[in-house]
Chain A
Amino acid sequence: MSEEKIIEIKNLEYIYMQHTPLEHQALSGINMEVNRGECIAIIGHTGSGKSTLIQHLNGLMQPQKGKIIVDGEDLSDSNVDLKALRRKVGLVFQNPESQIFEHLIGDEVAYGPFKLGLPLNEVRKRVKWAMEMVGLSFNEMKDRPTYALSGGQKRKVALAGVLALKPEILVLDEPTAGLDPYSKNELLEKIKKLNREEKITVIFISHNLEEVSFLAHRLYVLANGKNLVDGTPNDLFSNKEILEKYKIGTPDSVDILYKLKDAGFSINPRLFDVSCVAAQIFSILSTYQRRVTDDISV
């Protein structure tokens, strides 16, 4: 990960249906910085402005006030090359499987690269790469019909379709919502690989705090169109005041730690990985055991 900023957002505001009785301020001052190669989570309640925010990143929405700079380019500039921007920033919507329209998986993934006017062998190469990246075997799956896939597989196809455009920045809106635990873990592993190995900058919205702590280097908490908190998952989940103040839930493993703390045990809320929680419990038990044996030996 470099210190080079790939995205900078300053005082971004957005009002829906401005100057009408239905006017609604969705963003009211967002400030954000993302370094090249980082993995950033955006969390916040429904209606906090998360989806509005990410639609700005590839120019689907233009800033009304404030600035967004993506890889050196100011998106308020009316001369900005939107095509190039959208090639650079791949946006995967919520439930992207509902947008699949081709009959065969291979055709679906190839649609974007074809539209870019790439030669056939390059398209084929990219489709193969993208499918393998998300864990779909190119040879086995490219000629299968898209309708006969499970929810998790469809989502992988949709993700592959965006990856085939070779984006530098991947933006995902709730990538695992509605998936079963296995499909969820599998997809998370793929996204992690794209970020950590392929060095694609990833920005994702999530409700699932387990996956936030698994994937993200840093996170932003949004409420009422503003970003309130930013920091590492550790910073956030070990700060009970902030969690309560902004009604942010905690991963189940953090719940166990806080319940132990309430019961009078000393724990470290920053070590909330499942194995760390087990280790902390074991250490509580062994401290007690040692004390018992000490008492006996005295």
Chain B
Amino acid sequence: MKSDQALIQLNDVSFHYIVEKKKELSVLHHISLNIFPGEYVAIIGHNGSGKSTLSKLFNGILKPSAGDVVVNGWNTKNSQLIRDIRQQVGIVFQNPDNQLIATTVEDDVAFGLENILVPAEEMESRINQALRTVGLTGMNKRAPHHLSGGQKQRLAIAGIIAMKPKCIIFDEATSMLDTYGRKEIVKVMRRLNNDGVALVTVTHYMSEVVEADRVIVIEKGKIITQGTPREVFRQKQLLQSIGLDVPIANHVAEMVHQKYQPFSSNLIDAGEVVEEVKHFTTGGVSV
């Protein structure tokens, strides 16, 4: 689900932090990119490459030092529009404990809705719908601090989707979760994207990158390559030279390919590996 009009536009954006008086730490250099409605984009790069800074520019948490970030036609430099911008573009952070504020699950989701003056009668249906999307139905009265890490992150997501945003940014939102919790989040992300919400995910997990439509690779504050996951993971040497990697499934496929050339080396997830094995074994053997 993609349309031509960009939802988020970055036009020649640079960013530096001010470290001490008159001392600047340059993080991003002349980045131009568009995020389209309904698109699913992954941003990868090593620690300190600037990818987290980049994600915080998308909804005006940080303002560019040069260039413009335009969301839905609104420039993030215009502080009067910042509320509208954040309603369109929500963000989920790394640490679930820093994002929850209320004493019950439903109050936590309601917090954002109260801020934008949603009428009480509409609130309940929005809350329940958001909780259903993230798989927390029936937990309305539970205390957030008694939830597991994965459940807390899903609650944080519910708080955002109740605002009906067009885009959600996940800034390493799964890095503090266990494998099981991570897979739950990935499932929710896929569901949201199927419903037409644009997603931007910043992650170190190559198995999550596989889910995206487009991957953007950041190194030293610049975009060094982008493309579909398959196109990007084909550049294994480039990725490894900047501290990244390809998914495990890709390593496995390549090793099999070395010993048996017809087996494709360009597979990127477990499902594809299994399909490829089936492809070479159909027509008989099932012993």
Residues of A within 8 A of B (CB): 43-47, 147, 150-152, 174, 177-184, 207-210, 247-253, 255-256, 259-260, 263-265, 274-275, 277-278, 281-282, 284-288, 291-292, 295
User: Given A151-B47, A181-B245, A252-B207, are A282 and B256 also a contact pair (CB < 8 Å)?
Assistant: yes
A181 near B244 (CB under 8 angstroms)?
yes
Give A3 to B182 CA distance when docked, in angstroms.
37
What B residues does A263 contact at CB under 8 A? 274, 277-278
User: Given A151-B47, A180-B243, are A277 and B179 also a contact pair (CB < 8 Å)?
Assistant: no
State whether the Cβ of B22 lies closer than 8 Å to any Cβ in chain A: no
What A residues does B148 contact at CB under 8 A? 45-47
Q: Which of A179, A259, A278: most chain B CB closer than 10 A?
A: A278
A285 near B256 (CB under 8 angstroms)?
yes
State whether the Cβ of B119 lies closer than 8 Å to any Cβ in chain A: no
Can you sample 22 A-B contacts with CB below 8 Å? Answer: A47-B146, A151-B48, A177-B175, A180-B45, A180-B243, A180-B244, A182-B244, A248-B178, A248-B180, A251-B248, A252-B249, A255-B270, A256-B270, A259-B270, A259-B273, A259-B274, A263-B274, A281-B273, A282-B256, A285-B260, A291-B284, A291-B285
A177 interface neighbour in B146, B176, B183, Cβ under 8 Å? B176
A264 near B286 (CB under 8 angstroms)?
yes
User: Given A178-B94, A264-B286, are A275 and B178 also a contact pair (CB < 8 Å)?
Assistant: no
Give A152 to B45 CA distance when docked, in angstroms.
13
A288 near B48 (CB under 8 angstroms)?
no
What A residues does B206 contact at CB under 8 A? 181
Closest 9 CB pairs of A and B: A249-B179, A182-B243, A46-B149, A278-B255, A252-B248, A150-B48, A180-B46, A151-B47, A249-B180
A180 near B256 (CB under 8 angstroms)?
no
What is the interface size of chain B, counting residues whose CB is below 8 A from a CB of the partner?
51
What A residues does B96 contact at CB under 8 A? 46
What A residues does B183 contact at CB under 8 A? 249
Give A60 to B96 CA distance when docked, in angstroms.
25
B252 interface neighbour in A46, A179, A281, Cβ under 8 Å? A281
Give A161 to B70 CA distance when docked, in angstroms.
45
What A residues does B251 contact at CB under 8 A? 274, 278
Give A263 to B47 CA distance when docked, in angstroms.
38
Give A274 to B152 CA distance when docked, in angstroms.
32
What B residues does A264 contact at CB under 8 A? 286
Q: What does DSSP make chain B's interface, helix, strand, loop or mixed?
A: helix
What B residues does A278 contact at CB under 8 A? 251-252, 255-256, 259
State whether the Cβ of B204 lies closer than 8 Å to any Cβ in chain A: yes
Instruction: Closest A residue to B258 by CB, please name it.
Output: A278
State whether the Cβ of B159 lies closer than 8 Å to any Cβ in chain A: no
Instruction: Closest B residue to A295 by CB, please name it.
Output: B284
B46 near A45 (CB under 8 angstroms)?
no
Give A274 to B177 CA distance when docked, in angstroms.
23
A288 interface neighbour in B150, B249, B285, Cβ under 8 Å? B285
A46 interface neighbour in B47, B152, B247, B271, Cβ under 8 Å? B152
State whether the Cβ of B3 lies closer than 8 Å to any Cβ in chain A: no
A271 CB to nearest chain B CB (Å): 12
B249 near A256 (CB under 8 angstroms)?
yes
Give A260 to B19 CA distance when docked, in angstroms.
52
B260 interface neighbour in A180, A259, A282, Cβ under 8 Å? A282
Give A247 to B96 CA distance when docked, in angstroms.
20
B239 CB to nearest chain A CB (Å): 9
Give A210 to B178 CA distance when docked, in angstroms.
11
Contact with A along B137-180 (1 / 0, CB 8 A): 00000000011111010000000000000000000100111111
A179 interface neighbour in B47, B150, B284, Cβ under 8 Å? B47
A50 CB to nearest chain B CB (Å): 10
Instruction: Closest B residue to A281 by CB, please name it.
Output: B256
State whether the Cβ of B98 lies closer than 8 Å to any Cβ in chain A: no
B248 CB to nearest chain A CB (Å): 4
Give A263 to B251 CA distance when docked, in angstroms.
21
What B residues does A259 contact at CB under 8 A? 270-271, 273-274
A65 CB to nearest chain B CB (Å): 22
B188 CB to nearest chain A CB (Å): 16
A191 CB to nearest chain B CB (Å): 18
A249 near B47 (CB under 8 angstroms)?
no
Other A-B contacts than A46-B148, A274-B255, A281-B277, 12 sampled, CB-CB below 8 A, are A43-B178, A46-B96, A46-B176, A47-B149, A151-B48, A181-B204, A207-B177, A210-B248, A249-B183, A251-B179, A265-B277, A265-B281
Give A86 to B149 CA distance when docked, in angstroms.
30
State whether the Cβ of B74 lies closer than 8 Å to any Cβ in chain A: no
B271 near A285 (CB under 8 angstroms)?
no
Give A255 to B274 CA distance when docked, in angstroms.
10
Give A248 to B274 CA distance when docked, in angstroms.
22
What A residues does B46 contact at CB under 8 A? 150, 152, 180-183
What B residues does A282 contact at CB under 8 A? 256, 259-260
Q: Which of A178, A252, A282: most chain B CB closer than 10 A?
A: A252
Contact with A along B215-243 (1 / 0, CB 8 A): 00000000000000000000000001001
Give A150 to B220 CA distance when docked, in angstroms.
12
A16 CB to nearest chain B CB (Å): 11
What A residues does B48 contact at CB under 8 A? 150-151
What B residues does A152 contact at CB under 8 A? 46-47
